[in-house]
Amino acid sequence: MSRKRKPQWTADDFQPTADTQYDDLLQTPAVAPGGRQARKRVTRVPVSQILPDPYQPRPLLPPEIKQDFFAGQLNCFEAARAWLALAEKEPAEAGRVQALLHMGATFTEHGQIKPITGYWDAQSRRFVLETGERRFWAAVLQAVQQGSAEEPQLEALVVERPSRARQVLENITAEPPSAVMRAREIAALVLEQMEMLPETGEGDFAYYRRAAEIRRLPSAVVRRVEDLLGMSRRYIRYYLQILRLPDHLLLLADRYRLSEGALREVLKGAPETWEEGIAALIAGLGEGQEPAAPAAAEKPAPKTKARPRRAQLDPRMSIARRMRTPVRSLLRLEAGDVPRVAEHFATELGDPAMVRQAADALEALAAQLRVVAGKARKDARRKRG
């Protein structure tokens, strides 16, 4: 069996070439003469000339690789090799890498369906990503794993002004976020609305933590986040408070996809208890079920008079009763609200495997409800007849 030849990409690949039509694209007008909207330009850009956004609300690179990549110590191909090596040792990274490799394989078979978006940076002469980081790393990982001798290129749409809102909305369609990534997305929207930009050399968590430190968010900012994410003011604040955790605990909470509710309970304790609380949550994930969050402080249970025990209900009847209220709420939903409700429900469940199990269980329940409803209609017709 012949060995695959590894590409010999070097630092020279990071220099823009004439193929990118850099100067032409940089000067593309947003509005054509006469006030008409100009046609958007789509071009093909070699991946070595693409730079992901270091403040992307939902980053993909593991932190141990991300730091060296954005410091310029690794190019994208070297970062991909390091990521593939890490995935062999870390199960938490293996799933993410496999999903990206699958996406990269679809590019080979079906082509790139949706272009990435971004802008040409005049200083670095690189194409800075606004949306499409998953497509970018999928193409790079696939090329490195396959030992492709030809550098991949991606179709790119040039935008005049990048938007955090577009980044967040694209992320929503990709996969359910962890609670930490959702907190970063909310912080990104808040900081963009308040025109608070990252300072030179400021870490991404430090930047997003600024949103959690704002005591009172302006109403207009909150309404904007509510409109985009379909989330109440209370939950916006809950998610932002997650960013109070130190960086290393945020990374753990993200890697193990701890839920917002569990992290909220951890944050009720003193800061010196946070590490122990996160460790307890992670230790309880053995069966894929998130354990109850640790109490903020141990207090003796108050003495109460013993109550007579109630008759044990059939658990199936108990589940049916508890579902009655949320189902009534669902009946009041408009069709356009369903995707956002599904997104928030998936976020609360946290574990992607649990999300799939919930979907299967709901589909089975829906099918049986249709059977019951059909039987009830037949019975009603029989009585009338």
pLDDT tens, 134-149? 999 999 999 999 998 8
Judged by average pLDDT, the poorest of 14-28, 67-81, 282-296 is 14-28
164, two tokens: 């955090």
Tokens of 322: 């508890």
Q: DSSP letters of 174-203?
A: H-PPPHHHHHHHHHHHHHHHTT-PPPTT--
**Token digits of residue 49:** 């000339």
Indicate if the pLDDT at residue 288 is higher than 50.
no
What pLDDT, on the 0 to 100 scale, is given for residue 359? 82
Q: For the chain, which residues make up each domain, given as ranges?
A: 1-160, 176-279
Determine the pLDDT at residue 337: 73
pLDDT of residue 137: 95
pLDDT value, residue 283: 87
**Taking a C-beta distance cutoff of 8 angstroms, is the pair 212, 243 a contact?**
yes
Kindly state the average pLDDT of the residues 245-262: 91
- Asked if 27 and 120 touch (Cβ cutoff 8 Å), the reply is no
- Of the ranges 135-144, 148-157, 178-187, 283-292, which one carries the lowest mean pLDDT score? 283-292
Q: What is the pLDDT of residue 379?
A: 77
Q: Which of 161-165, 232-236, 339-343 ranks highest by mean pLDDT?
A: 232-236
pLDDT category, 75, cuts 50, 70, 90?
Answer: very high
Question: Would you call 31 exposed, middle or buried from its count of C-beta atoms within 10 A (0-12, 13-18, 19+)?
Answer: exposed
> What separation in angstroms does the CA of 384 have from each of 59, 302, 370, 372, 377?
62, 59, 21, 19, 11
Q: Give the chain's mean pLDDT.
A: 78
CA 322 to mean position of chain CA atoms: 30
User: Shortest CA distance to 235 belongs to which of 322, 163, 341?
Assistant: 341
**Residue ranges of E strands in the chain:** 42-46, 50-51, 116-121, 126-131, 153-158
Partners of 133 in beta bridges: none
**Low-confidence winner among 16-25, 220-229, 271-280, 318-327 (lowest mean pLDDT):** 16-25
Helices (H), 291-349: 315-331, 338-349
Residue 256 phi, psi (nearest 5): -95, 5
Mean pLDDT in residue range 53-69: 89
pLDDT tens digit string along 212-231?
Answer: 999 899 999 999 888 888 88
- Greater confidence (35 vs 120) lies with 120
Q: Beta-carbon neighbour count of residue 197 at 10 Å?
A: 10
CA distance 325 to 225: 27
Q: What pLDDT, in 10s, does the model give residues 197-213?
A: 999 889 899 999 999 99
Predicted pLDDT of residue 360: 76
